[in-house]
Structure 1
Amino acid sequence: MNPWIQLAVLWLLAALMMTLGWLWQRPRSNAGIVDALWAGGVGGSAVLFALLGDGAMWPRVILAVLGGLWGIRLAAHLWKRVRGEPEDGRYQNLRAHWHGSQFKFFLFFQFQALLIVLFSLPFLAVARNPRAFDPWMLIGIAIWLVSVIGESVADRQLARFRAAPANHGHTCRDGLWRYSRHPNYFFEWIHWFAYVCIALGSPIVWLAWAGPLVMYVFLRWISGIPYTETQALRSRGDDYRAYQRSTSMLIPWFPKRIEP
């Protein structure tokens, strides 16, 4: 199938899904559902392109398994947070800034549908790879395993910390969070390099680089770290400022010793 048609089909499905998500959040005032839908949509795009692609069997099978499992894990993790916690502070602030405008929230949900298409581009490259199984695919699988395990560990460490009432108002410095302020984001970023390796040999392999490049831009400057840290400073104040001074922002490194 023509790649443009595949992208159009994906966009229509994503737009429908996000419309249903927007309808779900209206009576609940919880726009956090958009994060779970985004993760599920991107993971689903990997499976869709694996089915529709005209590349060799092995890269498409690997794509469906890795992309699908990544999407299921992340969507389930985010859905659990949406169901068990109040609306994320980022969306509470948007709700206040937009004075509760549901039209603006609808546009926001539809923008997330477009982002699903943007983040699916690496999968499109993999699905057109004509090569049989080769060592680069093994390297891609290894990167995927390290990144997904690392992100899962970081998520569990943070959830365990936040579940203790004594930690309310304090910053998690346990485990991986001692070495990076955002280890979950770090491993999420690393995850996208897996598809670059698996796409090597594709006639559109350059599209695979959209994954790590676009994800870094979004995490570093747009929707990831800036929003998360603004909310953290608002809720944890000086404790988080001290954490910022001592701990690497994204790439894990040994914490600095801060003189009193």
Structure 2
Amino acid sequence: MTAYVLDQYYLGVTALVTVAIQLLFFVFAVIFKTDKVTDFAGGTNFFVLALVTLLMCGTYHVRQIVSSVLVMVWSIRLGGFRLFRILKSGKDDRFDEIRNNIAKFAAFWVGQMVWVWTVSLPNTLGNSPRVNDPAQGGRDVPFGNGTDIVGIIFWALGFLLEATADQQKYTFRQKRSTPIEINRFGIWRYSRHPNYMGEILLWWGIFLLNLQPSLGVGATWINSRVLWAGIASPLFTSVLLMFASGIPQSEKPSAKKQFNGNNWPAYQEYLAETSILLPFPPALYRPLPVWLKRSLGMDLPMYQFDPASQSPEESVAINKGSDNPSS
């Protein structure tokens, strides 16, 4: 009975497909001792889930097609770009400390399974027969209502922001004169993490796009509740990027690199005038009170680097004027 209920919303089949894909790539990565396929595996997984759930349902309503295509376009862009980037660089720095530790490396792949399956939820539920097939209580809610339009706008803005930020960051790194040069190129002048903002925004868009059937007249009670479960996708993305593997793993190491590279005053100026997430004109952001930057701007104390946390060895290197960042 449980398996039947899960299959009505494709929760079971998408979990099995996700485990199979990630396990396949994990085995490949272990055998060939490479981390070049990790991000490609994630992008491929998103694409496969969107395509398989659309084809399995077989109803092909406009909303299903639009949502699935948007997810697939995003996955191709992100997976392709990251594969290109790692092939050019030769390795992924994120795995320097776990590349040769099979347990830690496996833990990453398990985390990627959870990430793909959870973030795909709005599209998975939106493609399910229980939502779309009249024989199972579903219905085709006319496309083009308010949440559809807002969802597509959110996705488009987020996709454009993420793609532009990724390309500009790659270009900056190819052209920068020193490793501690601060990135103020393009959209990075207005946000310290515009790529993360874009990804958060576009998944809120996918959630809103797939929410509409639950709001339609005549929607069943169960569908009107289950489709709201898709909110786990943008919430998970937001929490992951803001409190786990995104900003926290970038802010302090970047600040430490600037501090150890004797560029701390300039970097403090950069922090004071550059929004951490939402793009904002520096001239308007700088005079904002700290409490507003922390509350509405989400520039939280947890992201701040404390120079006093430096080890004695690092402090000696700094006092001698070392220009070789330790991170």
Normalised TM-score (structure 2): 0.69
Equivalent residue for 1:33, pick from 25, 33, 37: 37
Counterpart Cα distance in 1 of 2:270 and 2:25: 35
Name which structure has the greater RCO, CA cutoff 8 Å, separation 6+.
1
Q: 1:76 to 1:210 in 2, by over 3 A?
A: same
The corresponding residue for 1:253 is 280
Change (3 A) 1:87 1:244: farther
Q: Which has the higher Rg, Structure 1 or Structure 2?
A: 2
Residue correspondence of structure 1 range 82-231 to structure 2 within 5 A: 82-95=86-99, 100-127=100-127, 128=131, 130=139, 131-136=141-146, 137-199=148-210, 200-202=212-214, 203=223, 204-231=226-253
Indicate if the aligned counterparts of 2:40 and 2:79 stay in contact, CA closer than 8 A.
yes
Aligned sequence identity (%): 27
Residues 150, 205 of structure 2: 8 Å contact kept: yes
The reply to whether residue 233 of structure 1 matches residue 255 of structure 2 is yes
Using the TM superposition, give the Cα deviation of residue 30 of structure 1 relative to its aligned residue in structure 2, in angstroms: 4.3
Q: Count residues with an aligned counterpart.
A: 254
2:69 pairs with one of 44, 57, 65: 65
Output one character per residue of 1:90-148: Cα deviation in whole Å (capped at 9) or x when no partner: 321344xxxx2213312321231122111121112322363121233233222222221
Distance in structure 2 (CA, Å) of the matches to 1:91 and 1:232: 17
Q: Which one has the bigger helix percentage?
A: 1
SS at match of 1:133: coil
Q: Label 1:181 to 1:165 Cα distance change in 2 as closer, same or farther (>3 A).
A: closer
Give 1:167 shift. 4.4
What letter corresponds to residue 142 of structure 2 in structure 1? A
> Unpaired segments of 5 or more residues in structure 1?
none
CA contact (8 A) 1:30 1:82 kept: no
Query: The residue matched to 1:41 in structure 2 has which SS?
Result: helix
Inter-partner Cα distance in structure 1 for 2:6 and 2:250: 35
User: What CA distance in whole angstroms lies between the structure 1 residues aligned with 2:246 and 2:47?
Assistant: 19
Shift of 1:151: 1.3
TM-score between both structures, scaled by the size of structure 1: 0.85
What amino acid does structure 2 have at the position aligned with 1:248?
A: S
Q: Deviation at 1:2?
A: 5.1
1:54-81 deviation digits (Å, cap 9, x = unpaired): 7661111112211111111111111112
What amino acid is the match of 1:201?
Answer: P
Secondary structure in 2 aligned to 1:166? coil
RMSD of the alignment, in Å?
2.6
Query: By how many angstroms is 1:211 displaced?
Result: 2.0
Give the letter for the 1:4 counterpart.
L
Q: Which amino acid aligns with 1:91?
A: F
The 3 A distance-change label for structure 1 pair 236 and 249 is: same
Contact preservation (8 Å) 1:11, 1:117 = yes
Unaligned runs of 5+ in 2: 133-138, 215-222, 288-327
| 2:251 aligned partner, one-letter code | E
Mean CA deviation greater in 198-207 or 129-138:
129-138
Quick check: 2:165–2:188 contact (8 Å CA) kept in 1? yes
**Alignment partners' CA distance in 2, 1:30 and 1:235:** 27
CA shift for structure 1 position 165 = 4.7
